[in-house]
Amino acid sequence: MIAQFPPFYPDELLYSAFARYYVRSGHSNLRDCMKDLYPSICRPTVEYSNALNAEVIKILSDIEDVIKKHTMYSNYARFVSASRRRKALRSLVDGTTEYTTQLGIPVNRTGNRHLRYCPLCASKDRSLYGETYWHRSHQVYGVTVCSEHNCYLKESTVWIHSKSSPALTAAEVVIPYDEEIIACQNKIEIDLNHYLVAVFQQPVSLKKSASIDRFLKYRISQTKYISLRGEHIWADQMFRDLMQYYSGYKQDVIKEAYQISKTLQGKKNNPLAICMICMFLDIDPADLSEMKAGKIMLAYDYEQNIIRLHNEGYNYRQISNMLNASYDYTKRIGVHGGNHKQRPINISPKAGPRKRDYTAMDADYYQRVKNAVDLVLSNDGRPEKISVSKIERMVGLPQRCIEKLPKCYSYVRDHIETIEEYWIREIEWSYQNNIHSGIEMNITNVIIHPLNLNRSDINRIIPLLDNNNSIHVRIREMIDM
**Under 8 Å CB-to-CB from 426, ≥6 apart: which residues?**
382, 383, 451
Q: What is the pLDDT of residues 414-467, one digit of tens each?
A: 998 888 888 888 888 888 888 887 888 888 888 888 888 888 888 898 888 888
Residue 254: Cβ-neighbour burial (10 angstroms; 0-12, 13-18, 19+): buried
Task: Note the pTM of the prediction, 2 decimals.
Answer: 0.67
Q: Looking at residues 28-55, what average pLDDT do you find?
A: 92
Q: What does the mean pLDDT of the chain come to?
A: 86
Say which range, 170-179, 233-242, 275-284, has the weakest mean pLDDT: 233-242
> What DSSP string runs through 212-230?
HHHHHHHHHTTSTTB-TTS
d(CA 157, CA 169): 10
User: Residue 352 pLDDT > 50, yes or no?
Assistant: no
User: Residue 222 pLDDT > 80, yes or no?
Assistant: no
d(CA 418, CA 421): 5
Q: What is the pLDDT of residues 401-425, one digit of tens each?
A: 888 999 999 999 999 888 888 888 8
pLDDT value for 340: 47
d(CA 60, CA 74): 19
- Predicted confidence band at 17 (pLDDT cuts at 50, 70, 90)? very high
Q: What is the pLDDT of residues 230-251, one digit of tens each?
A: 667 888 889 999 999 998 888 8
Percentage with pLDDT > 90 across the chain: 43
- In single-letter form, the type of residue at position 409 comes to Y
Q: Looking at residues 270-291, what average pLDDT do you find?
A: 92
pLDDT value for 37: 94
- Predicted confidence band at 137 (pLDDT cuts at 50, 70, 90)? very high
pLDDT value for 351: 38
Q: Looking at residues 3-7, what average pLDDT do you find?
A: 88
Helix (H) or strand (E) holding 158, with range, is strand 154-159
Q: Looking at residues 58-82, what average pLDDT do you find?
A: 93
- Choose between 344 and 176: higher pLDDT: 176
Percentage with pLDDT > 70 across the chain: 91
Q: What is the pLDDT of residues 162-174, one digit of tens each?
A: 677 889 999 999 9
Say which range, 38-52, 149-163, 287-301, has the weakest mean pLDDT: 287-301
Q: Looking at residues 181-190, what average pLDDT do you find?
A: 94
Angle in degrees, CA 152, 132, 136, rounded to 5? 60
Q: What is the pLDDT of residues 73-97, one digit of tens each?
A: 999 999 998 999 999 999 999 999 9
User: Residue 353 pLDDT > 50, yes or no?
Assistant: no
Q: What is the pLDDT of residues 190-210, one digit of tens each?
A: 999 999 999 999 999 888 888
